[in-house]
Structure 1
Amino acid sequence: MVKILSGVKIEVAETINNLMLNIENTKSNYIILSKIKLIRLVFVFVYLGFAKSTPTFAQTRAIAFKRAASLNNGINISWLEQTWNPDALKRKTITITDLKLLKTLGFKSIRLPVAFRYYEEHNIPLSNVLKQVDYVWKLCRQTGLKLVIDYHYGKLNDANYTLETQKIIKTWSTLTVRYANAPADQLFFDLYNEPPPINPSVWKDAAYNIVTALRKMDKKRTFLVGASNYNSIYELSRMVRLADENVIYAFHFYEPFLFTHQGALWVGNQVSTTGVPFPYNVENFPALNLKAKGTWGETNYYQYKTDGNEQSVKDKLQIVKNWAGNYAVPIICSEYGVYNKYARQDSRCRYIKTVRNTLKQMQIPGMLWDYNGNFSLFEGKPAVNNLPQCMADAIAYKPKK
């Protein structure tokens, strides 16, 4: 046993932990329960032996937890991912005034989605894109806000993942060199936004290869990694964590989708039913839009009386909380919010307050989507005076007297 402990790697601990979880999932009698207890003891013994001989194992993960917590009360700034906006790179959408406003409202971090792959496909030099990223990073340093740079709108799929992974690594390698001196507790890399509904093992291989390649260049940077099917909470709950201690696992939360994306044209007829309240109220519940018939939106419509409430939000967030607990890894909700064109203001406020408070209770950091786009918290141009009172309450903003 001593000989084994001297050479133990994280993969050993993960194998034991995974075996433990698999047995738990299939336990049906006293013998299996006994095996579970035995395996837990072995796992603890191996972990303690490894941690004792290699202190950085526990230290690095503790750093990842601390950094994840520091990103709490974050918000996304929609701008450099706007592929539909031909002027996105030609103008500065935000200023120091915007970040000071966010600071005043209690936000501590910014997530900046960037459509790196789109700009590459359209022969726009990466240096041009990074000038805007540099600008945001400068503003963040001036205001004390942390920054998460997010690789948005990638082209990864089951067929091209080998080649596409190399392109992702190439882009991140450039950023890694460029920001090599940026404090690792201030600047973060979200490696790939919303991986599509591809084979989960394909995505895990891609994620592993990206993290491994970048870790050779930067030992200290903390990476955000989500699961397939668009940073799904369900896919994350089935994902096996990576063999890297300095990773925060990200998920997006827009449940129930029938409410948060009602009327969003880019989604399609599935969400064509508008006027959906939160929580569910039979007296104010709209009729199903005929365009949604025969789609998964119809299924969601009839399930909403079960899904459209605070307890359902808690139950779904508990799924990822349990997963994180099983692996003892940090997680973050890097997107949550409500499309503001059709949802009633009071319902939007109640939903955001519900998600925010639930995340707080579960000690999961959260980042709203978004600052000044079509999920904006404000009525009109971002300003304290344009923040509805119910929204101020939802984000726990209290003006100084």
Structure 2
Amino acid sequence: MKILFSVFLLVSSLLLSGQTREKAFEINAQLGRGINFGNMFEAPSETAWGNPWKPEYPKIIADLGFNHVRIPVRWEPEERSAATEPFTITPEFLNRIKEVVDSCLNTGLYAIINMHHHEELFENPDGQKERFLTQWKQISEYFADYPDSLLFEILNEPHGNLDATKWNTFFADALSTIREDNPDRVVLIGTAEYGGLGGLSKLELHDDDNIIVTVHYYNPFSFTHQGAEWSNGTDAWLGTEWTDTETEREIVQDEFAPLKAWEQQKNIPVHVGEFGSYSKADMDSRERWTTYIARFIESQGWSWTYWEFSAGFGIYNPDDDSYNNRLIDALLNNEMSEPAVYVGTAIYSSQFDQTINDWSLSTNNGAGATLIQSSGNLAVDITTAGSEGWHIQLAKNNVALEAGKKYRLTFKAKSVDDRTATSYVGMNVSPWSSYSGYSGFSLTDTFRVYSTVFDMTTTDNYARIVFDLGTNASDITIEYITLESVEIQFPTSVESVKILKSKIYPNPTYNQLFIDNQDDFQQLQLKTIDGQTIQQTQLANHLNEITVDKLSSGIYFVTLSNQVLQQTFKIIKK
């Protein structure tokens, strides 16, 4: 399986690369599947977070079937490097990292070393730039004679005062420094704004053939970081599940779609350097999420590194020498299964062709924008951007939510120019907390549908739907917004998933739907998004046809059933 996966990635990448970045695509294919040595060398000291590196780890990882290891390194502490010129990294620490790299390469693993948690650089980029570049010069010289199976990653998750504009200059200067001693080594470059997909549009690449772009993915954050002790407010998310529904998968696909388009436009290989879910989440959800994310990344022809090996997200417990085999299978062995589906009842459904009066727009800190009704849509005409998302905030108040229910927010939107924004459902009073988590999304000049699903643990009859739009001056148009209470419908069993052969097509559709009934279904129900049955008919075996040309455009659900089985399809009427 390991060999087949590498071949698949290599072929996919070479098709994209043409005559440029061929080596980078090839190395990315060899990276394949990897894991992070997290909470080890990026801690203030190797033992500070209770997870010291052990020499046997690389062999364990290689034997499991991984292809590479990412080694996050904090170079800043005074025991490791000088804070003043010439910013010397101690020989002892360089030798320690060399020991780890050598151990990985000697077991046949590729290795990535980076700069990680350099807080002084994020707080004072200009004041720390010389130290940043000087340290990379030392690292580059020290490992200059190493084979191509060692890669450099310039900096983990740039953020704070090291904003996107400044980051474009800093990584270019660091890359030039590295090229003095490593002219052909493959180097990974991450995005600003904590390394996520939201910073992608602001990344300005330079003319270098041997680079790979890397991003991190932890969405939905309210699931992956529930109960995380280092992040305030995450206990409120405890119990959040990821149920592997069509909607949840579509959210992942939509969030990664700009990266795929960017990859093809820029002709550059892509690596997902971190993804993972914390151990406070239930194991069923962790296995489902990890399986889907790993298989989805691979389906795009990208390499990945799971976060992490032996701590709170990990697959191995060093205390009792035990393995989380369900996570290992999710990463390396599980195939992508059939998704579950949501069936929804509308709590709110916009009617922008009639009114926009139930929505309000607030501007703060010098930002400027106007809310208008345009061609049956809601439009936000932005004259002046702010520095924070909430500086331009679109909201609908007085939305009633009940504890113990699951909800789905769906909207269709576009922007004049490519931009990012954030949506959430949350409190309408201080502290204005989010119930749904904060979902970043990327807009283009074409309408796309975006969704997020969340669980309510408390009742709030006066909640609000919010869009934070303030960080960009590109105008936004929204065609519709719906909020539904949803119930999940799992595949009846593993066996039923395998044997169900019925299909509905075309989807999306304009006039007719064809139902190829291969499972002896007896009845069809066609329902609106709010659960209202608008058509019910008996089914014959094999081909059936229903006319839908009179239906309004939107989302509908078709349920096929007999006395034993039931299957629901989501369809889109154009």
Range that drifts further, 105-114 or 161-170: 161-170
Measure how far apart 1:354 and its partner are. 0.8
Name which of 334, 342, 346 aligns with 2:284.
346
AA partner of residue 195 (structure 1): P
The Cα shift of 1:327 comes to: 0.7
Gapped runs of 5+ residues in structure 1?
Answer: 1-56, 282-304
Does the 8 Å CA contact 1:372/1:382 hold for their aligned counterparts?
Answer: no
Name 1:336's counterpart in structure 2.
275
Task: Give matches, 1:48-197, under 5 Å.
Answer: 61-78=21-38, 79-83=40-44, 93-95=53-55, 97-118=56-77, 119-120=80-81, 125-155=89-119, 160-183=124-147, 185-197=148-160
AA of the residue aligned to 1:144: G
The reply on whether 1:322 has 2:286 as its aligned counterpart is no
Shift of 1:316: 1.2
With over 3 angstroms needed to count, the CA separation of the structure-2 counterparts of 1:160 and 1:391, relative to structure 1, is: closer
Q: Quote how far apart the aligned CAs of 1:88 are.
A: 7.5
1:313 to 252, 272, 277: 252
Conserved 8 A contact 2:31-2:67? yes
- Structure 2 match to 1:374: 312
- Distance, in Å, in 1 between the alignment partners of 2:175 and 2:323 is 41
CA contact (8 A) 1:335 1:368 kept: yes
Residue 564 of structure 2 corresponds to which residue in structure 1?
Answer: none
Quickly say closer, same or farther: Cα 1:104–1:137, change in 2 above 3 A.
same
Amino acid at match of 1:346: D
How far does residue 127 in structure 1 lie from its aligned partner after superposition?
Answer: 1.9
Letter in 2 for 1:93: W
- Measured after TM superposition, the shift of residue 224 of structure 1 is 0.7
| Equivalence for 1:45 | none
In the other structure, the counterpart of 1:395 is 331
Distance 2:66 2:156 in 1: 21
What CA RMSD, in Å, does the superposition of the two structures yield over aligned residues?
Answer: 2.8
Question: Structure 2: how far apart are the matches of 1:315 and 1:167?
Answer: 39
Give distance in 1, aligned partners of 2:27 and 2:19: 12
What corresponds to 1:296 in structure 2?
Answer: none
Deviations 1:163-204, CA, capped at 9 Å, x for gaps: 322211111111111111101x21011110000044311110
**1-structure distance, mates of 2:122, 2:332:** 43
Residue equivalent to 1:43: none
Offset of 1:131 from its aligned partner?
A: 2.0
Q: Give yes or no for contact 2:41–2:73 (8 Å, CA) kept in 1.
A: yes
> Who is 1:36 aligned against?
none
* Other-structure match for 1:266: 230
- 2:282 is aligned with what amino acid? R
Contact 2:21/2:209 (<8 A) preserved: yes
Using the TM superposition, give the Cα deviation of residue 226 of structure 1 relative to its aligned residue in structure 2, in angstroms. 0.6
Distance 1:72 1:368, change over 3 A: same
**Structure with more of its chain in strand, by fraction:** 2
Q: C-alpha displacement at 1:213, in angstroms?
A: 2.0
Residue 151 of structure 1 contacts residue 191 of structure 1 at CA under 8 Å; is this kept in 2?
yes
TM-score norm. by structure 1 comes to: 0.71
2:53 aligned partner, one-letter code:
T
Matches of residues 215-294 of structure 1 in structure 2 within 5 Å?
215-270=179-234, 272-279=236-243
Which amino acid counterpart does residue 65 of structure 2 have in structure 1? G
Paired residues, what number?
311
Q: Please say if residues 258 and 271 of structure 1, whose CA atoms lie closer than 8 Å, have aligned partners that are also in contact.
A: no
The alignment's TM-score, normalised by the length of structure 2, stands at 0.50
Partner SS for 2:21:
helix
Shift in alpha-carbon separation, 1:158–1:189, aligned structure 2, 3 A: closer
- For 1:56-102, what per-residue CA distance to the aligned partner results, in whole angstroms no more than 9, with x for missing partners? x975611011111211211000211112765589x96222x322221
Following superposition, the deviation at residue 241 of structure 1 comes to 1.7
Please tell me whether the aligned partners of residues 60 and 246 of structure 1 are also in contact (alpha carbons under 8 angstroms).
no
Q: Which letter does structure 2 place at the counterpart of 1:162?
A: D
The residue that corresponds to 2:166 in the other structure is: 202
Name the aligned partner's letter for residue 114 of structure 1: V
| Distance in 1 (alpha carbons) for counterparts of 2:324 and 2:292 | 18
More helix as a share of residues = 1
Verify the 8 A CA contact 2:122 2:159 in the aligned structure 1. no
Mapped contact 2:62–2:107 kept (Cα < 8 A): yes
In structure 2, distance between residues paired with 1:377 and 1:321: 29
Distance in 2, matches of 1:121 and 1:257, equals 36
- CA distance in 2: counterparts of 1:220 and 1:350, whole angstroms: 39
AA at the equivalent of 2:30: S
**1:380 deviation in Å?**
6.4
CA distance in 2, matches of 1:125, 1:203: 23
SS of 1:279's partner is coil
Q: Which amino acid aligns with 1:127?
A: P
User: Does the 8 A contact of 1:156 with 1:165 survive in 2?
Assistant: no
Superposition misfits of 4+ residues, deviation over 6 angstroms: 121-124
List per-residue Cα deviations over 1:104-134 (Å, max 9, x = no partner): 2110101000111234368995322212211
> Within 1, Cα distance between the matches of 2:211 and 2:293?
23
Q: In 1, distance between residues paired with 2:216 and 2:141?
A: 29
Contact 2:263 2:269 in 1 (8 A): yes
1:310-361 CA distance string (max 9 Å, x none): 2211221222111111111111000010111x10111111111110000011
Residue segments in structure 2 that go unaligned for 5+ positions in a row:
1-16, 335-574
Q: Helix, strand or coil for the counterpart of 1:229?
A: coil
The alpha carbon displacement at 1:150 in A equals 1.3
Contact 1:262 1:272 in 2 (8 A): yes
